Structure 1
Amino acid sequence: MFMRLVLIALFSITICVVSDATAENAKKRIIASTTQIADFARQIAGDRMEVRSILAPGADPHTYQPTPDDVQLVLEADLCLENGLHLEGKNWMGTLAKDAGKPLVTATDGISPLTIDSKGEKVADPHAWFSLKNAAVYVNNITRACIQLDPAAEEEFKARAVLYLQQLRVLDAWIKNQVNRIPINRRILVTTHDAFNYFCTEYKFNANNNYLSIAPVGWSTGAEVGGGMTPERRRMVVDSISSSGAPAIFVETSVNPKQIREIAKETNVRIGGELYSDSMGEENTAGETYIGMMRENVLLIVNALQ
């Protein structure tokens, strides 16, 4: 009887020790709203944390409707990351984090956003990651958030950030070199919706449109501010294509291509390919990371326009 009690006590102690060790070694969990932000977080966190994205590749953050699975995912999070600037239509990421009582970091904090005119109202353009300088701001914000979540790994996070920021600088120089292969008069970027303002401004596309996107649909494809296509906007795009002699126009992975295909047919301009815009590519594709997404977009644009 005595030995039985000893064994039970030892077994109970073992369970407690294992449980404590498991809890101590459990990875922190970061839940990001978009695929781009999730990739930035993975570059910084490495294998030290688990990073998940609510949006799947090809999903549209402007019109996304959270599911019960998303609610559960956020309930299990230690930290939530959002883009902000109204990218997440109707503030769905902020609402999920608030309802779950989870800390939320806005990755665009500190960025000076471009503004666009929507029905006479100036609104901030949320697609800030298409500028490599802004991408660095995302990374720095996420690095600080990771350090706050796991202070013991501060030097590890900072070291990853230094390397990744250097990769972004190299990417920026490479993009400029590639874009310079396109004659100035052929640097006309027409896409489905206003996702490429930062890209056009940074790399000098659409000079006749103040280096902003030429697109039939506003930056939100839903009922948010700036959303939808008006007859005036469609006419502006058709006129821009006709007067500029654009060699090609582009569809996007996260937006229905019907409208841009109709415009291509109407203006007798070919479709240059499909660009990654509001989300990255599927797993095991060339565009599954931010750097891969940017690289593939640039190669597609250059090949179609030069």
Structure 2
Amino acid sequence: MLRRALIALALLAAPALAVSAPARLPVVASFSILGDLVQQVGGDKVEVTTLVGPDQDAHVFQPAPRDAQAVTRAKVVFLNGLGFEGWMPRLAMASGFHGLQVQVSAGLQPRRMQEDGRDHLDPHAWQDPVNVQTYVTNIAQALSHVDPANAAYYQQRAAAYRQQLVALEGWVRQQLGTIAPAKRKVITSHDAFGYCAARFGIEFLAPQGMNTDAEASAKDVARLVQQIRRERVKAVFVENITNPRLLDQLAREAQIKVGGELYSDALSKTGGPAGNYLAMYRYNITTLLAGMRQN
């Protein structure tokens, strides 16, 4: 009888325990790469909603009503900043969001680019893993601010992930040591790899500007074809978020082959080769190395 009574009490207590389990902190990340970084820091304490998903282009993103709903319920909205999410002010206004907005690139020295005769900030700072250490620090600080009870948890995960980023940078330098500096030239479909180029000494050439909604002129394409022929560049890659037509045209005119796909502004879908930031970066570098060896 005593045992039956204890079992009955346990069964009665179980629903109460389930109800009292702490809810995860609802947060929003603007695009898939940032969503992965927030998840890496937040772990099982956060519920991350990503607005621009895998294989999608944040440059041309059009928010839907479900995105406004996700922003409305979020405690924190994480943005890349540097002009990357031009649609975010409209979305924040439409959703009536009054929570914390965090630009994870805050504190970085941005690169500047010329496009259409104008000076722009280059938003693709995540293409340098050293910059991503700053992203991770800013994410941990924001989560700790809105959820101080779990601050130590966030800081611990951020520190562990920064160590992985340090290891990633070392691996990239080791791999590039096998390629002569004169061969470190690559052609991509849009100019998204400037931070990687600056960090690791790779020259990226692109017929498009930094935004995928900008069209390359015939003059730009012709000039790039001449450069390809003059420098004998054979490492040519399309990106997962762009239409390959322009690069296919470039490859035909320069009589070269497109060597594969790179992940620039978005992760791959689950099960793909770039399902998280670390996998994406290693995949891109491995793919670039194979192409540069043919130069």
**What displacement does 1:22 show?**
4.3
The root-mean-square deviation of aligned C-alpha atoms, in Å, is 1.8
* Residue in structure 2 matched with residue 4 of structure 1 by the alignment: none
Q: Which amino acid aligns with 1:218?
A: G
Q: Which amino acid aligns with 1:236?
A: R
C-alpha separation in 2, matches of 1:174 and 1:41: 23
**What displacement does 1:24 show?**
7.2
* Residue in structure 1 matched with residue 248 of structure 2 by the alignment: 261
**What displacement does 1:54 show?**
0.7
Q: Deviations over 1:123-182 (max 9, x none)?
A: 110000001111111111111111011101111111111110000000000011111222
C-alpha separation in 1, matches of 2:88 and 2:35: 13
Q: Deviations over 1:239-296 (max 9, x none)?
A: 2211111122000001111100110111111111100011011112231100000000
**What displacement does 1:233 show?**
2.0
Equivalent of 2:53 in 31, 48, 56: 56
Matched, 1:32 2:16: no
Q: What SS does structure 2 have at the residue aligned with 1:140?
A: helix
**What displacement does 1:106 show?**
0.7
* Residue in structure 2 matched with residue 159 of structure 1 by the alignment: 156
* Residue in structure 2 matched with residue 282 of structure 1 by the alignment: 269
Equivalent of 2:233 in 226, 246, 257: 246
Matched, 1:304 2:285: no
C-alpha separation in 1, matches of 2:16 and 2:216: 59
* Residue in structure 2 matched with residue 215 of structure 1 by the alignment: 206
1:44-193 alignment runs, 5 A limit: 44-88=41-85, 91-99=86-94, 100-101=96-97, 102-193=99-190
**What displacement does 1:107 show?**
1.0
Q: Which amino acid aligns with 2:67?
A: D
**What displacement does 1:23 show?**
7.6
**What displacement does 1:95 show?**
2.8
Q: Share of identical aligned residues, percent?
A: 32
Q: Deviations over 1:206-229 (max 9, x none)?
A: 2xxxxxx3101111122xxxx321
C-alpha separation in 2, matches of 1:275 and 1:122: 26
**What displacement does 1:232 show?**
2.7
Q: What SS does structure 2 have at the residue aligned with 1:176?
A: helix
Unaligned runs of 5+ in 2: 1-11
**What displacement does 1:184 show?**
1.7
Q: Which amino acid aligns with 2:226?
A: D
Unaligned runs of 5+ in 1: 1-13, 207-212
* Residue in structure 1 matched with residue 9 of structure 2 by the alignment: none
* Residue in structure 2 matched with residue 194 of structure 1 by the alignment: 191
Count of aligned pairs between the two proteins: 278
Q: Deviations over 1:33-87 (max 9, x none)?
A: 0111111111110001111211111111111101111111112211111111121
| TM-score normalised by the chain length of structure 1 | 0.86
Q: Which amino acid aligns with 2:90?
A: T
Change (3 A) 1:22 1:76: farther
Q: Which amino acid aligns with 2:278?
A: I
Q: Deviations over 1:4-31 (max 9, x none)?
A: xxxxxxxxxx9xx969x84872211111
Q: Which amino acid aligns with 2:48?
A: V
Moved more, 157-166 or 22-31: 22-31
Q: What SS does structure 2 have at the residue aligned with 1:47?
A: helix
* Residue in structure 1 matched with residue 6 of structure 2 by the alignment: none
Q: Which amino acid aligns with 2:87?
A: W
Q: Deviations over 1:105-125 (max 9, x none)?
A: 111111111101123221110
Q: What SS does structure 2 have at the residue aligned with 1:261?
A: helix
| TM-score normalised by the chain length of structure 2 | 0.90
C-alpha separation in 2, matches of 1:215 and 1:98: 35
C-alpha separation in 2, matches of 1:233 and 1:86: 24
